């Protein structure tokens, strides 16, 4: 395989200039772009933009840069909409970068309602009514709005719907929702970051089998023992159906991380087995879950999972 030449030109970088009226959704859009893998710079002085684009890639970095979103608005230093349009045109011609512009608009009445609801002052009217600032900013931003490649009117668009629009328009190659399937032991506390928790303590407990006690839910014999419980298949299959319904909805809503936790008493047998089964099903259905057996490697506590310290006590076990 031939190594790339030292002076090879990096692949073209996609650049998105994000602007709009204050309160129309620019901040929400920038956060969403960052979630789907864009590099985001907000309120960056445009006089330094050319230097930013000319920054060389570091050693060992990919020849393809992440797409770059640059947020500007009326608060940006030396803001001048007409000059910005000319500057971006020049950059696109001189550097051959595919520069796009995204502008967020909104009705004056809705912007006024949002400012009244949040009790924020308009940046262009700190000591005057918000209506004055909205009108002044609309006039100031008019050249940029006319030139924009994409205009999104958020008058009737709630934040979650706006996030979905951004993902659909600019999410090519976007990061998927990161799904974590966790097993844990209730005896060691609930996981703090779990979005959903399923209690598996109703299933047959391998702890009561002397030959299974030292094993874990990763062992076939333990899984076979748990699966013999009459409640196992109907309950676990319903949980799987529920997750196959919920996870696509979480993804459509723009959730970046989802953690599904399965618990048993000690976190070494029942929860581990069910977590492995569910993770396998999700993989078969196009997801790429990470599996985290939180308490599998923990030393057995006295009377919890068995072992030398707890072999004779069975008041708390798994």
Residues 200 and 116 in one domain: no
The answer to whether the CB of 6 falls within 8 A of the CB of 88 is: no
| CB neighbour class for 179 (10 Å; exposed up to 12, middle 13-18, buried from 19) | buried
For residue 1, the model assigns a pLDDT of 42
| Residue pLDDT, tens place only, 8-44 | 444 557 888 899 999 999 999 999 999 888 999 888 7
Classify residue 5: in a domain, yes or no: no
Split at pLDDT 50, 70, 90, the class of 299 is: low
CA dihedral 213, 217, 218, 219 (to 10 degrees): 40
pLDDT, greater one: 303 or 168: 168
Same domain, 190 and 269: yes
**pLDDT given for residue 78 in this prediction:** 65
Question: Do 263 and 195 fall into the same domain?
Answer: yes
| pLDDT the model gives residue 204 | 92
Contact 292, 194 (CB under 8 A): no
Note whether 310 and 317 are within 8 A (CB): yes
Lowest-confidence segment of 70-79, 106-115, 261-270, 303-312 by average pLDDT: 303-312
Q: Does any domain span residue 308?
A: no
Stretch 49-56: mean pLDDT: 64
- 298 within some domain: no
State which residues form the domain around 113: 15-53+64-170
- pLDDT score for 59: 46
Q: If you compute the radius of gyration of the chain from its CA atoms, what whole number of angstroms results?
A: 27
Same domain, 114 and 165: yes
Spatial separation of the C-alpha atoms in residues 205 and 296, rounded to whole Å: 16
146 and 22: one domain? yes
Q: What integer pLDDT is reported at residue 149 of this predicted model?
A: 83
151 vs 58, residue with greater confidence: 151
CA proximity to 10, closest of 67, 49, 51:
67
**Same-domain status, 26 and 146:** yes
149 plus 258 within the same structural domain: no
pLDDT value, residue 300: 54
Q: Are residues 24 and 163 in the same domain?
A: yes
Question: Considering its fold, how many domains does the chain have in total?
Answer: 2
Task: Please check whether residue 69 lies inside any domain of the structure.
Answer: yes
Q: In this structure, what CATH number is given to the domain that contains residue 134?
A: 3.40.50.300
Answer yes or no: is 6 within a domain: no
Residue 156 lies in a domain: yes
Cα 192–Cα 30–Cα 45 angle in degrees, nearest 5:
130
Q: Where is pLDDT greater, at 96 or 268?
A: 268
For the beta carbon of residue 214, count every other beta carbon within 10 angstroms.
15
CA-to-CA dists, residue 5 to 9, 40, 58, 61, 116, angstroms: 9, 29, 15, 14, 58
Among 254, 252, 250, 258, which residue's Cα sits nearest to residue 31?
A: 254
pLDDT score recorded for residue 239: 97
Q: In the prediction, which pLDDT does 30 show? A: 94
CA 97, chain centre distance (Å): 27
Is the model's pLDDT at 307 over the cut of 70?
no
- pLDDT of 287 strictly over 70: yes
- Give the tens place of pLDDT for each residue, 180-217: 999 999 999 998 878 999 999 999 999 888 899 899 99
């Amino acid at each position: 395989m031939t190594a790339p030449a030292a002076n090879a030109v990096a692949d073209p970088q996609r650049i998105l200039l994000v602007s709009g009226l204050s309160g129309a959704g620019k901040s929400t859009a920038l956060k969403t772009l960052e979630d789907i893998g864009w590099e985001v710079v907000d309120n960056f002085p445009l006089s330094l933009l050319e230097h930013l684009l000319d920054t060389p890639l570091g050693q060992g970095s990919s020849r393809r840069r992440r797409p770059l979103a640059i947020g500007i608005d009326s608060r940006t230093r030396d803001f001048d909409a007409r000059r910005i349009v000319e500057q971006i045109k020049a950059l696109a011609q001189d550097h051959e970068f595919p520069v796009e512009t995204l502008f967020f608009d909104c009705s004056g009445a809705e912007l006024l309602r949002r400012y009244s609801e949040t009790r924020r002052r308009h940046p262009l009217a700190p000591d005057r009514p918000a209506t004055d600032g909205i009108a002044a900013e609309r006039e100031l931003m008019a050249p940029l709005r006319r030139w924009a490649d994409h205009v999104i009117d958020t008058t009737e668009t709630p934040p979650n719907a706006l996030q979905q629009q951004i993902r659909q328009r600019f999410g090519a190659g976007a990061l998927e929702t990161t799904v974590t399937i966790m097993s844990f032991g209730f005896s060691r506390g609930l996981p703090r970051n779990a979005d959903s928790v399923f209690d598996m303590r109703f299933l047959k407990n391998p702890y009561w089998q002397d030959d299974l006690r030292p094993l874990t839910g990763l062992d076939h014999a333990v899984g076979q023992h748990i699966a013999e419980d009459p409640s196992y298949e109907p309950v676990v299959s319903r949980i799987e159906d529920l997750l196959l319904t919920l996870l696509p909805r979480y993804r459509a809503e723009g959730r970046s991380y989802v953690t599904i936790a399965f618990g048993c008493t000690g976190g070494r047998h029942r929860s581990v087995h069910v977590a492995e089964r569910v993770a396998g099903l999700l993989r078969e259905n196009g997801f790429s879950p990470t599996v985290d057996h939180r308490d599998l490697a923990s030393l057995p506590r006295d009377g919890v999972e068995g072992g030398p310290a707890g072999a004779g006590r069975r008041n708390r076990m798994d």
